[in-house]
Structure 1
Amino acid sequence: MTAAADDAEGPTPIPAPVTRRGQAKAARRRELLAAAARLMAERGFAGVRLEDIGAAVGISGPAMYRHFSGKDAVLAEMLVDISQRLFGGGQDVLSESDDAETALRGLIAFHVRFATTEPELITVQDRDMSSLTPEARREVRRLQRKYVELWTDVLVRLSDPMPGDPMPRQEAQTRVQAVFGLINSSPRLPELDTARQSALLAEMAHSALLS
């Protein structure tokens, strides 16, 4: 590209700084989403009102509409957000890994950490996915498929000690989906020290993927 073209395009815009008020609003929104996850995990989507979510963090019912248009919007943001975070976190793991084995162990550790620290989200997604609007459900499914493909790519690479003879992709996808079921079962498992539970899940997941 010529210098003239560069001048015509102008400098790259600098993002506007986040104001203190904006930071406070974002923090309150995260607080509301965390409260919604807890309540919906306990009672189910149908058993929670928008007013209940607000009350959990000290916000009156009418004031909740400054944050969310309704309960459907809360559920949609909650489940789309976790799907985005999982996919983005998986991409970060791959970018920081030098080889397929390191990448696989990193992905397992990342997902185990999510499952053991945010169990309410797993419960809500498993039980209330059908309550999402069609548009939100399509977005969640799209992100989930991309996350599965990250894992599948790594597993296929790792299973190919002899070039040209990798694990069939469909089998790799099956193993990945099965391991998600294993790790995501953590909210329903008997109580165990978190560190020990995480180590067990990671060991079992690695063995299942490569058995």
Structure 2
Amino acid sequence: MVTRTDASTRRQQILKEAARLFAERGFHGVGVDEIGAAVGISGPGLYRHFPGKDAMLAELLVGISGQLLTGGRRRVEECPGDPAALLDSLIEGHIDFALDDRPLIVLHDRELERLRDSDRKLVRQLQRQYVELWVEAVRARYAPLTEVEARTAVHAVFGLLNSTPHLSRPDAPPSRAAAAALLHRLARGAFDAAAPQ
């Protein structure tokens, strides 16, 4: 008997492999049979979990946008009244995403326009809310930074952190801990540099 937990785990396996394959070969370069083979089921068996590849892509991109926002809100609640700790916590959370979910960064860059309008709008809405958390945190930490300056700095830091798919060479990858520490220093350095002198 297949339990709800088993089905949920299988869905997560399918999404993980779909993200990897879509990032490697592009959305149209991957068939459902290949995704099924990667998780040990037939291509048609995927339709028990998803109506098709479009639904997988939507769940991946909407899902990660929602997870980032939820995590950001949790971090805001955990650091009341401490702007420096909040900013460090937001940076750490985004670094975890950037290092652990690299295929999703590639997918967002390459495939966002393939989503249905409603899904794409939802991704954008979630992302705007996530950015606003950061803008408020940066302004609290670096007052009297203007909203425009804070927003510019936040987007620049996202660009830096989201460059992780290009970070390592296969023959000399940095350790995860070393990469995370370096990214954190770079992000904080960028925000420090944006602060009024």
Give your verdict on TM over 0.5.
yes
**Matching of residues 133-144 of structure 1 within 5 Å:** 133-144=116-127
Amino acid at match of 1:187: P
Q: Is the partner of 1:69 in helix, strand or coil?
A: coil
Q: Specify which of 82, 90, 94 is matched with residue 107 of structure 1.
A: 90
Aligned counterpart, 2:62 = 80
Offset at residue 20 of structure 1 (A): 6.9
Once the two structures are superposed, what CA deviation does each residue of 1:166-185 show, in whole Å capped at 9, x if it has no partner?
A: 21111111110110000010
Question: Is 1:177 paired with 2:159?
Answer: no
Q: Is the partner of 1:65 in helix, strand or coil?
A: helix
Unaligned runs of 5+ in 1: 1-18, 161-165
Amino acid at match of 2:18: A
Aligned counterpart, 2:102 = 119
Amino acid at match of 1:197: A
Contact 2:32 2:44 in 1 (8 A): no
Rg bigger for which structure?
1
**Matching of residues 1-211 of structure 1 within 5 Å:** 21-98=3-80, 99-160=82-143, 166-190=144-168, 191-211=173-193
Q: TM-score, normalised by structure 1?
A: 0.86
Q: TM-score, normalised by structure 2?
A: 0.92
Offset at residue 51 of structure 1 (A): 2.1
Q: Is the partner of 2:3 in helix, strand or coil?
A: helix
Q: How many residues are treated as equivalent by the alignment?
A: 188
After the TM superposition, which segments of 4 or more aligned residues of structure 1 sit over 2 Å from their partners? Answer: none
Give the Cα–Cα distance (whole angstroms) in 2 for the partners of residues 31 and 138 of structure 1: 26
